[in-house]
Amino acid sequence: MTTGFPERFTGSFTQQDPIPEAGIAAALEVLRHGRLHRYNTLPGEISQTALLEQEFAALTGARYALAVASGGYALGCALRAVGVKPGDKVLTNAFTLAPVPGAIASLGAVPVFVEVTDSLTIDLDDLAAKLGEARVLMLSHMRGHLCDMDRLMQICDAAGVTVIEDCAHTMGAAWNGVPSGRHGAIGCYSTQTYKHANSGEGGFLVTDDAETAARAVMLSGSYMLYERHLAAPPPEVFERIKYDTPNVSGRMDNLRAAILRPQLQALPVQVRRWNERYKVIEEGLRAAPGLAIVERPAQESIVGSSIQMLLPGWDAPQVQEVLHRCAERGVELKWFGAPDPIAFTSRYDSWRYAPSEPLPQTDRILAGLIDMRLPLSFSLEDCALIARIIRAEVSAVFQQA
């Protein structure tokens, strides 16, 4: 254990920035008139949700956008919109969060897990070897890490595999200047509290394909009111699909849309703030004995709302000791190598609804993978202190080994 009077962090790893005043004012207006349902509008009135979709389409450069009840709903809606049926196989990262295989399994489809690299991105060689098993890839940009999207799209396009991007952790990120979610056929985003825009729960789906967009709108529960969307295809596209697309209701409401609109306007500023904090932590941990940071490629424009570090070759008791020692000094770390799910840190082999084969490369990496949130409520001085604490405790345990 640590001795003496070491530095201690006293902040919260779950405290978010407040909702912007403009969002609070817009939300109060919605509450006062009571028209929370996105299609409950007065003659000539445009709903907050329709305006939000138009603004999100412009932000991402997408032709069409749909606001929905959650990021997980966006994933399931995307799978349905591209025609995934029960029994179909869907490729996805072995390193992801439970809502991704959950969306696949909820359709009665079967996840096929692909190995992860030391850069925490999907292993493109393993993906290429498995492309013949499925016609859809649900690509998770897990914890904000983007793979070589140019190469990924080349191999998927050549194999006729449709790519759905899970951008829950990459709203505002880009690869070679192309926004995350805009390489594949569909991009899915989350506005859950710990993501890059906060409506408690919520999400988006974007695409350039008119029929895919129309199916998504119908799936979300439009009740033939699709003409009230500003970022949807023209009515004639809906005429082709409206009678054979089921209603799987998952709409966003006007209250959450009102809260989100100012946050989207502020996203570029927030991204810079996250990245400032990420850089301080990264530099504070660089070259720490026994610890490896995840180097980010030059083509990747990141949103550093969390940071990952590796303890390569460490055994489980050593990793647990680091977590314990850091926690005693106020630093909350998560571990993806734990044998049982804890909070969001579940593993591919713990999802029993999605049977899997052993993935030795992924197992090796997850065994030493540590994760930490970086809320914008942290100051840069907070981040420097946190890095000093992690570095000191990792070094202490490493030297004992």
Q: Which one-letter amino acid corresponds to residue 345?
A: T
d(CA 106, CA 357): 20
Domain end call among 242, 262, 282: 262
- State the CATH number of the domain containing residue 109: 3.40.640.10
d(CA 365, CA 119): 9
At residue 346, the pLDDT reads 87
Q: What is the pLDDT of residues 65-76, one digit of tens each?
A: 999 999 999 999
d(CA 327, CA 390): 10
- State the CATH number of the domain containing residue 320: 3.90.1150.10
| 38 plus 186 within the same structural domain | yes
d(CA 307, CA 217): 35
Q: Is residue 377 part of a domain?
A: yes
| Region of residue 124 (left: phi > 0; alpha: psi -120 to 50; beta: else) | alpha
Between the alpha carbon of residue 297 and those of residues 147, 150, 240, 365, the distances in Å are 9, 13, 43, 19
Q: Is residue 318 part of a domain?
A: yes
Q: Rounding to the nearest 10 degrees, give the CA dihedral for residues 174, 179, 180, 183.
A: -120
| 222 plus 87 within the same structural domain | yes
| Region of residue 224 (left: phi > 0; alpha: psi -120 to 50; beta: else) | left
**Pairing label, strands 300-301, 306-310:** unpaired
Contact 57/71 with Cβ under 8 angstroms?
A: no
3-state secondary structure at position 80: helix
| 277 plus 369 within the same structural domain | yes
Q: Is residue 242 part of a domain?
A: yes
| 26 plus 164 within the same structural domain | yes
d(CA 106, CA 82): 15
| 204 plus 283 within the same structural domain | no
At residue 342, the pLDDT reads 86
Q: Is residue 372 part of a domain?
A: yes
| 54 plus 186 within the same structural domain | yes
At residue 4, the pLDDT reads 60
| 213 plus 299 within the same structural domain | no
Domain that holds residue 34: 21-262
Look at residues 109, 170, 161 and name the one whose alpha carbon lies nearest to residue 137. 161
Domain end call among 262, 296, 326: 262
| 170 plus 42 within the same structural domain | yes
At residue 1, the pLDDT reads 44
**pTM, full prediction:** 0.96
At residue 180, the pLDDT reads 98
Q: Is residue 226 part of a domain?
A: yes
* Ranges of H-type helices in 192-253: 210-219, 235-241
**Which DSSP state fits 253?**
P
Q: Is residue 178 part of a domain?
A: yes
| 73 plus 100 within the same structural domain | yes
| 213 plus 285 within the same structural domain | no
The two three-digit tokens of residue 142, written as one number: 């897990």
| 256 plus 277 within the same structural domain | no
* Ranges of H-type helices in 286-359: 316-328
Domain end call among 262, 293, 325: 262
At residue 2, the pLDDT reads 46
DSSP 136-178: EEEEE-GGG----HHHHHHHHHHHT-EEEEE-TT-TT-EETTE
At residue 401, the pLDDT reads 72
Between the alpha carbon of residue 140 and those of residues 75, 176, 226, 332, 355, the distances in Å are 10, 18, 29, 24, 18
Q: Which parts of the chain register pLDDT below 70?
A: 1-5
**Which DSSP state fits 220?**
T
| 37 plus 119 within the same structural domain | yes
For the chain, count helices (H), then strands (E): 12, 14
Q: Is residue 109 part of a domain?
A: yes
Domain count, the chain: 2
- Give the other-Cβ count within 10 Å of 5's Cβ: 6
